[in-house]
Amino acid sequence: MPTVAELAALVGGEHLAECGVLEISGPAALAEARPGEISFFGHPRYASDLKTTRASAVFVPRDFAGETPAACIRVEDPSAAFTAVTHRFVPVPVAPLPGVHPSATVDPTAKIAPGSCVQAQAVIEAGATVGEGSVIGAGCYLGKNARIGAGCLLHAHTVVREDCILGDRVILHCGVVVGSDGFGYDTNDSRHHKIPQIGCVVIGDDVEIGANTTIDRARFGRTVIGEGTKIDNLVMIAHNVVIGRHCIICAQVGISGSTQIGDYVVIAGQAGLVGHIKVGDGAIIGAQSGLSNDLEPKAIVVGSPPRPIGEWKRGIVRLDRLGQLYDRVKKLEQRPG
Give the CATH number, domain containing residue 60. 3.40.1390.10
Contact between 253 and 236 under an 8 Å Cβ cutoff? The reply is yes
- Please indicate, yes or no, whether residues 130 and 220 belong to a single structural domain of this protein: yes
- Please indicate, yes or no, whether residues 42 and 111 belong to a single structural domain of this protein: no
Number of structural domains the chain divides into: 2
Mean pLDDT within 185-189:
91
Q: Is residue 318 part of a domain?
A: no
Mean pLDDT within 87-99:
85
pLDDT of residue 16: 87
- Please indicate, yes or no, whether residues 12 and 121 belong to a single structural domain of this protein: no
User: pLDDT of 199-238, one tens digit each?
Assistant: 999 999 999 999 999 999 999 999 999 999 999 999 999 9
- Please indicate, yes or no, whether residues 55 and 199 belong to a single structural domain of this protein: no
- Please indicate, yes or no, whether residues 61 and 191 belong to a single structural domain of this protein: no
pLDDT of residue 327: 81
Q: Is the C-alpha dihedral spanning 96, 102, 104, 107 positive or negative? A: positive
Q: Is residue 321 part of a domain?
A: no
Domain that holds residue 254: 99-310
Q: Is residue 279 part of a domain?
A: yes
pLDDT of residue 325: 81
Mean pLDDT score across all residues of the chain: 94
pLDDT of residue 337: 61
Mean pLDDT within 143-168:
98
Q: Is residue 293 part of a domain?
A: yes
Q: Is residue 322 part of a domain?
A: no
Annotated catalytic residues are 239
Which residues lie closer than 8 Å to 32 by C-beta, 6 or more apart?
none
Q: Is residue 58 part of a domain?
A: yes
Residue 94 amino acid letter:
V
The winner for highest mean pLDDT among 1-5, 68-72, 253-257 is 253-257
Q: Is residue 70 part of a domain?
A: yes
- Please indicate, yes or no, whether residues 116 and 224 belong to a single structural domain of this protein: yes
pLDDT of residue 329: 83
CA distances from residue 318 to 27, 285, 306, 325 in whole angstroms, order as listed? 43, 22, 17, 10
